[in-house]
Amino acid sequence: MSGQLTSKIKIPKSQVELINLIFAELEITFHNQFHKAFPDEETLTLAKQLWLAKLEKYQNEIVFRAIDKIIETSKYLPSLSAVLNQIKELKDIPFKIAVEDDGKSFFKLTIKVREKIVADGLSENDYDVTNVGAHLTAKQWNKAIDDGAVVVDMRNHYESEIGRFKGAICPEVETFKEELPVVKDLLKGKESDQVLLYCTGGIRCEKASAYLKNYGFENVSQLHGGIIDYVRQINENNSIENKFVGKNFVFDERRAERISNDIISNCHQCGDPCDQHINCKNVNCNLLFLQCEKCKEEYDSCCSLDCIEVAKMPEDKRKKLRKGVENKKIYYSHKKVKLNLKA
Protein backbone atom coordinates (compact mmCIF):
# COMPACT_ATOMS: atom_id res chain seq x y z
CA MET A 1 0.00 0.00 0.00
CA SER A 2 2.68 2.45 1.08
CA GLY A 3 4.90 1.81 -1.91
CA GLN A 4 2.07 2.16 -4.44
CA LEU A 5 0.65 5.30 -2.89
CA THR A 6 3.74 7.23 -1.89
CA SER A 7 5.39 6.58 -5.24
CA LYS A 8 2.82 8.96 -6.75
CA ILE A 9 3.62 11.86 -4.46
CA LYS A 10 6.67 13.68 -3.24
CA ILE A 11 7.45 12.65 0.32
CA PRO A 12 7.27 15.77 2.50
CA LYS A 13 9.58 16.38 5.42
CA SER A 14 6.79 16.41 7.97
CA GLN A 15 5.14 13.08 8.81
CA VAL A 16 1.91 14.96 9.55
CA GLU A 17 1.94 16.40 6.03
CA LEU A 18 2.45 12.90 4.64
CA ILE A 19 -0.51 11.59 6.62
CA ASN A 20 -2.73 14.38 5.33
CA LEU A 21 -1.62 13.74 1.76
CA ILE A 22 -2.39 10.04 2.07
CA PHE A 23 -5.87 10.79 3.36
CA ALA A 24 -6.45 13.27 0.54
CA GLU A 25 -5.14 10.82 -2.06
CA LEU A 26 -7.42 8.01 -0.87
CA GLU A 27 -10.43 10.33 -0.49
CA ILE A 28 -11.51 8.34 2.54
CA THR A 29 -14.93 9.08 3.98
CA PHE A 30 -13.53 8.48 7.46
CA HIS A 31 -11.37 11.57 7.04
CA ASN A 32 -14.32 13.85 7.72
CA GLN A 33 -15.45 11.66 10.60
CA PHE A 34 -12.03 11.95 12.23
CA HIS A 35 -12.29 15.72 12.10
CA LYS A 36 -15.74 15.61 13.71
CA ALA A 37 -14.79 13.15 16.44
CA PHE A 38 -11.42 14.40 17.65
CA PRO A 39 -11.41 17.75 19.42
CA ASP A 40 -7.86 18.98 18.79
CA GLU A 41 -5.18 18.77 16.12
CA GLU A 42 -2.81 16.63 18.17
CA THR A 43 -5.45 13.99 18.86
CA LEU A 44 -6.62 14.10 15.25
CA THR A 45 -3.10 13.52 14.00
CA LEU A 46 -2.52 10.61 16.38
CA ALA A 47 -5.85 9.09 15.37
CA LYS A 48 -4.77 9.19 11.75
CA GLN A 49 -1.48 7.60 12.72
CA LEU A 50 -3.32 4.76 14.43
CA TRP A 51 -5.45 4.18 11.34
CA LEU A 52 -2.36 4.22 9.14
CA ALA A 53 -0.38 1.99 11.50
CA LYS A 54 -1.57 -1.12 9.67
CA LEU A 55 -0.55 0.38 6.33
CA GLU A 56 2.58 2.31 7.18
CA LYS A 57 3.81 0.12 10.06
CA TYR A 58 4.55 2.93 12.46
CA GLN A 59 6.58 2.21 15.55
CA ASN A 60 4.65 0.67 18.44
CA GLU A 61 5.34 3.70 20.60
CA ILE A 62 3.37 5.94 18.23
CA VAL A 63 0.50 3.43 18.03
CA PHE A 64 0.25 3.20 21.81
CA ARG A 65 0.27 6.99 22.13
CA ALA A 66 -2.53 7.16 19.56
CA ILE A 67 -4.59 4.59 21.44
CA ASP A 68 -4.20 6.54 24.67
CA LYS A 69 -5.32 9.73 22.97
CA ILE A 70 -8.29 8.07 21.30
CA ILE A 71 -9.45 6.68 24.64
CA GLU A 72 -9.35 10.24 25.96
CA THR A 73 -11.71 11.39 23.21
CA SER A 74 -14.64 10.16 25.27
CA LYS A 75 -14.33 13.65 26.75
CA TYR A 76 -15.71 15.19 23.57
CA LEU A 77 -19.27 14.17 24.51
CA PRO A 78 -19.43 16.32 27.66
CA SER A 79 -17.81 19.18 25.77
CA LEU A 80 -20.46 18.87 23.06
CA SER A 81 -23.10 18.91 25.78
CA ALA A 82 -21.62 22.13 27.16
CA VAL A 83 -21.78 23.74 23.72
CA LEU A 84 -25.41 22.68 23.19
CA ASN A 85 -26.39 23.97 26.62
CA GLN A 86 -25.45 27.46 25.45
CA ILE A 87 -28.22 27.26 22.85
CA LYS A 88 -31.59 28.04 24.39
CA GLU A 89 -33.57 25.52 22.32
CA LEU A 90 -31.06 22.71 23.00
CA LYS A 91 -30.33 23.39 26.67
CA ASP A 92 -30.26 20.22 28.82
CA ILE A 93 -30.80 17.97 25.81
CA PRO A 94 -30.29 14.36 27.02
CA PHE A 95 -27.47 12.23 25.66
CA LYS A 96 -27.91 8.49 25.11
CA ILE A 97 -24.57 6.73 25.38
CA ALA A 98 -24.21 3.15 24.12
CA VAL A 99 -24.28 0.41 26.75
CA GLU A 100 -22.01 -1.73 24.58
CA ASP A 101 -19.83 0.02 22.02
CA ASP A 102 -17.58 -2.15 19.88
CA GLY A 103 -16.96 0.64 17.39
CA LYS A 104 -20.12 -0.10 15.42
CA SER A 105 -22.50 2.25 17.19
CA PHE A 106 -23.65 5.28 15.18
CA PHE A 107 -20.56 6.69 13.48
CA LYS A 108 -21.82 10.16 12.69
CA LEU A 109 -24.35 12.78 13.64
CA THR A 110 -27.08 13.39 11.08
CA ILE A 111 -29.54 16.23 11.53
CA LYS A 112 -32.82 16.07 9.62
CA VAL A 113 -35.95 18.18 9.73
CA ARG A 114 -39.11 16.09 9.90
CA GLU A 115 -42.75 16.94 10.43
CA LYS A 116 -42.90 14.28 13.15
CA ILE A 117 -40.04 12.74 15.07
CA VAL A 118 -42.04 9.49 15.29
CA ALA A 119 -44.68 8.67 12.67
CA ASP A 120 -47.99 7.79 14.31
CA GLY A 121 -50.40 8.25 11.40
CA LEU A 122 -52.48 10.76 13.40
CA SER A 123 -53.14 14.46 12.92
CA GLU A 124 -52.08 17.11 15.42
CA ASN A 125 -55.69 17.61 16.45
CA ASP A 126 -56.32 13.97 17.35
CA TYR A 127 -54.72 14.28 20.80
CA ASP A 128 -52.63 16.66 22.90
CA VAL A 129 -49.04 15.48 22.39
CA THR A 130 -47.83 17.69 25.25
CA ASN A 131 -50.01 15.96 27.86
CA VAL A 132 -47.51 13.20 28.53
CA GLY A 133 -47.22 10.69 31.36
CA ALA A 134 -45.03 10.96 34.44
CA HIS A 135 -41.33 10.28 33.91
CA LEU A 136 -39.91 7.62 36.24
CA THR A 137 -36.32 6.96 37.27
CA ALA A 138 -35.03 3.38 37.31
CA LYS A 139 -35.69 3.13 41.04
CA GLN A 140 -39.24 4.50 40.73
CA TRP A 141 -39.85 2.21 37.74
CA ASN A 142 -38.84 -0.90 39.66
CA LYS A 143 -41.04 0.05 42.60
CA ALA A 144 -44.04 0.57 40.33
CA ILE A 145 -43.48 -2.89 38.82
CA ASP A 146 -43.24 -4.41 42.30
CA ASP A 147 -46.50 -2.66 43.19
CA GLY A 148 -48.29 -4.48 40.36
CA ALA A 149 -48.40 -1.87 37.57
CA VAL A 150 -49.19 -2.96 34.01
CA VAL A 151 -46.02 -2.81 31.89
CA VAL A 152 -46.22 -2.25 28.12
CA ASP A 153 -43.36 -2.49 25.63
CA MET A 154 -43.86 0.30 23.05
CA ARG A 155 -41.28 -1.12 20.66
CA ASN A 156 -41.80 -3.35 17.65
CA HIS A 157 -42.04 -7.13 17.90
CA TYR A 158 -38.56 -7.80 16.52
CA GLU A 159 -37.17 -5.58 19.28
CA SER A 160 -39.05 -7.08 22.22
CA GLU A 161 -38.52 -10.70 21.18
CA ILE A 162 -34.83 -10.57 22.19
CA GLY A 163 -35.21 -8.49 25.36
CA ARG A 164 -37.90 -7.01 27.58
CA PHE A 165 -38.97 -6.27 31.12
CA LYS A 166 -40.31 -9.28 32.96
CA GLY A 167 -44.08 -9.62 32.58
CA ALA A 168 -44.38 -6.85 29.97
CA ILE A 169 -47.12 -6.80 27.35
CA CYS A 170 -45.35 -7.02 23.99
CA PRO A 171 -47.64 -6.24 21.03
CA GLU A 172 -47.13 -8.26 17.83
CA VAL A 173 -46.55 -5.18 15.67
CA GLU A 174 -43.87 -3.93 13.31
CA THR A 175 -44.49 -0.17 13.29
CA PHE A 176 -45.29 2.46 15.89
CA LYS A 177 -48.24 3.61 13.77
CA GLU A 178 -49.69 0.12 14.01
CA GLU A 179 -48.94 -0.18 17.71
CA LEU A 180 -50.92 2.71 19.22
CA PRO A 181 -54.45 1.37 18.57
CA VAL A 182 -53.32 -2.18 19.37
CA VAL A 183 -52.05 -1.13 22.81
CA LYS A 184 -55.24 0.82 23.48
CA ASP A 185 -57.29 -2.30 22.78
CA LEU A 186 -55.00 -4.55 24.83
CA LEU A 187 -55.43 -2.24 27.83
CA LYS A 188 -59.20 -2.03 27.58
CA GLY A 189 -60.70 -2.19 31.07
CA LYS A 190 -57.49 -1.04 32.74
CA GLU A 191 -58.16 2.70 32.42
CA SER A 192 -57.79 3.18 36.19
CA ASP A 193 -54.72 0.97 36.62
CA GLN A 194 -51.19 2.28 36.71
CA VAL A 195 -49.74 1.77 33.24
CA LEU A 196 -45.99 1.80 32.62
CA LEU A 197 -44.61 2.40 29.12
CA TYR A 198 -41.05 1.89 27.93
CA CYS A 199 -39.04 1.94 24.70
CA THR A 200 -35.40 2.22 23.66
CA GLY A 201 -34.73 5.87 24.46
CA GLY A 202 -38.08 7.25 25.60
CA ILE A 203 -39.22 9.11 22.48
CA ARG A 204 -41.96 6.72 21.43
CA CYS A 205 -43.36 6.74 24.97
CA GLU A 206 -43.75 10.51 24.88
CA LYS A 207 -46.36 10.09 22.17
CA ALA A 208 -47.82 6.84 23.46
CA SER A 209 -48.45 8.18 26.96
CA ALA A 210 -50.20 11.28 25.60
CA TYR A 211 -52.25 9.07 23.27
CA LEU A 212 -53.43 6.80 26.11
CA LYS A 213 -54.24 9.74 28.40
CA ASN A 214 -56.37 11.17 25.64
CA TYR A 215 -58.40 7.94 25.68
CA GLY A 216 -59.12 8.04 29.39
CA PHE A 217 -56.19 6.21 30.95
CA GLU A 218 -55.72 8.08 34.21
CA ASN A 219 -52.38 6.86 35.54
CA VAL A 220 -49.81 6.57 32.76
CA SER A 221 -46.07 6.71 33.44
CA GLN A 222 -43.03 6.16 31.27
CA LEU A 223 -39.43 5.12 31.80
CA HIS A 224 -37.40 8.30 31.58
CA GLY A 225 -34.62 7.95 29.01
CA GLY A 226 -35.85 4.50 28.02
CA ILE A 227 -33.95 1.24 28.37
CA ILE A 228 -30.61 2.90 27.61
CA ASP A 229 -30.79 5.31 30.55
CA TYR A 230 -32.32 2.64 32.80
CA VAL A 231 -29.18 0.54 32.28
CA ARG A 232 -26.96 3.54 32.91
CA GLN A 233 -28.69 4.14 36.24
CA ILE A 234 -28.44 0.54 37.43
CA ASN A 235 -24.77 0.41 36.38
CA GLU A 236 -24.10 3.51 38.46
CA ASN A 237 -26.07 2.24 41.47
CA ASN A 238 -25.61 -1.41 42.39
CA SER A 239 -28.52 -1.25 44.82
CA ILE A 240 -30.99 -0.98 41.90
CA GLU A 241 -32.11 -4.37 40.59
CA ASN A 242 -32.01 -4.97 36.85
CA LYS A 243 -35.48 -6.12 35.79
CA PHE A 244 -34.70 -6.13 32.07
CA VAL A 245 -33.86 -9.54 30.59
CA GLY A 246 -31.99 -10.23 27.36
CA LYS A 247 -30.76 -7.72 24.79
CA ASN A 248 -31.77 -4.18 23.90
CA PHE A 249 -32.34 -3.91 20.13
CA VAL A 250 -30.61 -0.92 18.52
CA PHE A 251 -30.82 0.49 15.01
CA ASP A 252 -27.19 0.40 13.96
CA GLU A 253 -24.67 -2.22 12.92
CA ARG A 254 -24.51 -3.70 16.42
CA ARG A 255 -28.20 -4.72 16.19
CA ALA A 256 -28.35 -5.12 19.98
CA GLU A 257 -26.72 -4.42 23.33
CA ARG A 258 -26.58 -7.22 25.90
CA ILE A 259 -28.25 -6.16 29.14
CA SER A 260 -28.44 -9.52 30.89
CA ASN A 261 -27.05 -12.96 30.12
CA ASP A 262 -30.54 -14.37 29.50
CA ILE A 263 -31.36 -15.62 25.99
CA ILE A 264 -35.15 -15.41 25.75
CA SER A 265 -35.64 -15.93 22.01
CA ASN A 266 -35.08 -18.74 19.54
CA CYS A 267 -33.60 -19.27 16.10
CA HIS A 268 -36.38 -18.79 13.58
CA GLN A 269 -35.19 -21.77 11.58
CA CYS A 270 -34.28 -24.55 14.01
CA GLY A 271 -35.77 -23.30 17.28
CA ASP A 272 -32.56 -23.40 19.33
CA PRO A 273 -31.90 -20.56 21.82
CA CYS A 274 -30.68 -17.55 19.85
CA ASP A 275 -30.84 -13.76 20.11
CA GLN A 276 -28.67 -12.78 17.14
CA HIS A 277 -30.51 -10.85 14.42
CA ILE A 278 -29.28 -11.05 10.85
CA ASN A 279 -30.45 -9.69 7.52
CA CYS A 280 -30.89 -12.29 4.81
CA LYS A 281 -27.76 -12.55 2.68
CA ASN A 282 -29.95 -12.23 -0.41
CA VAL A 283 -30.10 -8.43 -0.62
CA ASN A 284 -33.19 -8.75 -2.80
CA CYS A 285 -34.90 -10.10 0.32
CA ASN A 286 -33.00 -8.50 3.22
CA LEU A 287 -35.43 -9.95 5.78
CA LEU A 288 -34.49 -9.40 9.41
CA PHE A 289 -34.67 -12.63 11.42
CA LEU A 290 -32.97 -14.60 14.19
CA GLN A 291 -30.44 -17.14 13.00
CA CYS A 292 -28.10 -19.26 15.12
CA GLU A 293 -24.54 -20.01 14.06
CA LYS A 294 -25.44 -23.57 13.05
CA CYS A 295 -28.21 -22.41 10.70
CA LYS A 296 -26.10 -19.53 9.47
CA GLU A 297 -23.54 -22.02 8.22
CA GLU A 298 -26.12 -24.53 6.96
CA TYR A 299 -28.23 -21.98 5.09
CA ASP A 300 -25.45 -19.59 4.09
CA SER A 301 -26.92 -16.67 6.09
CA CYS A 302 -30.19 -16.88 4.13
CA CYS A 303 -33.78 -17.09 5.34
CA SER A 304 -35.11 -19.53 2.72
CA LEU A 305 -34.06 -22.06 0.11
CA ASP A 306 -35.08 -19.64 -2.64
CA CYS A 307 -32.85 -16.94 -1.16
CA ILE A 308 -29.91 -19.34 -1.04
CA GLU A 309 -30.22 -19.78 -4.80
CA VAL A 310 -30.62 -16.06 -5.48
CA ALA A 311 -27.64 -15.19 -3.27
CA LYS A 312 -25.46 -17.44 -5.44
CA MET A 313 -26.39 -15.59 -8.63
CA PRO A 314 -24.05 -13.04 -10.23
CA GLU A 315 -24.70 -9.46 -9.15
CA ASP A 316 -26.06 -8.42 -12.56
CA LYS A 317 -28.79 -11.09 -12.35
CA ARG A 318 -29.68 -10.16 -8.78
CA LYS A 319 -29.87 -6.52 -9.84
CA LYS A 320 -32.37 -7.39 -12.57
CA LEU A 321 -34.51 -9.32 -10.09
CA ARG A 322 -34.77 -6.41 -7.67
CA LYS A 323 -35.22 -3.73 -10.30
CA GLY A 324 -38.29 -1.69 -9.45
CA VAL A 325 -38.89 -3.61 -6.22
CA GLU A 326 -38.86 -1.48 -3.08
CA ASN A 327 -37.00 -3.21 -0.26
CA LYS A 328 -38.68 -2.63 3.09
CA LYS A 329 -37.77 -5.71 5.04
CA ILE A 330 -34.57 -4.65 6.79
CA TYR A 331 -36.54 -4.24 10.04
CA TYR A 332 -39.47 -6.51 9.30
CA SER A 333 -40.36 -9.48 11.45
CA HIS A 334 -40.12 -13.11 10.45
CA LYS A 335 -43.79 -13.43 11.41
CA LYS A 336 -44.87 -12.73 7.84
CA VAL A 337 -42.55 -15.34 6.36
CA LYS A 338 -42.32 -19.08 6.98
CA LEU A 339 -38.71 -19.82 7.91
CA ASN A 340 -38.76 -23.44 9.01
CA LEU A 341 -36.94 -24.82 5.98
CA LYS A 342 -37.30 -28.43 7.11
CA ALA A 343 -41.08 -28.32 7.49
**Catalytic residue annotation:** 199
Contacts of 175 (CB under 8 A, 6+ apart): 119, 156
Q: At 182, give phi and psi (nearest 5°).
A: -65, -45
Q: At 197, give phi and psi (nearest 5°).
A: -115, 145
Question: DSSP assignment, residue 84?
Answer: H
Give 136's strand partners.
223
With contact defined as beta carbons under 8 Å apart, do 233 and 135 qualify? no
> 230, 172, 177, 181: which is closest to 201 by C-alpha?
230
CA separation, residue 119 to residues 81, 115, 124, 176 (Å): 27, 9, 12, 7
Question: Distance between CA 233 and CA 275 in Å, rounded?
Answer: 24
Task: Give the full edge-to-edge strand order of the sheet including 194-198.
Answer: 134-136, 219-223, 194-198, 150-153
Strand 150-153, strand 194-198: pairing:
parallel
Displacement of CA 282 from its chain's centroid (Å): 22
- Per DSSP, the residues of 317-332 read HHHHHHTTPPP--TT-
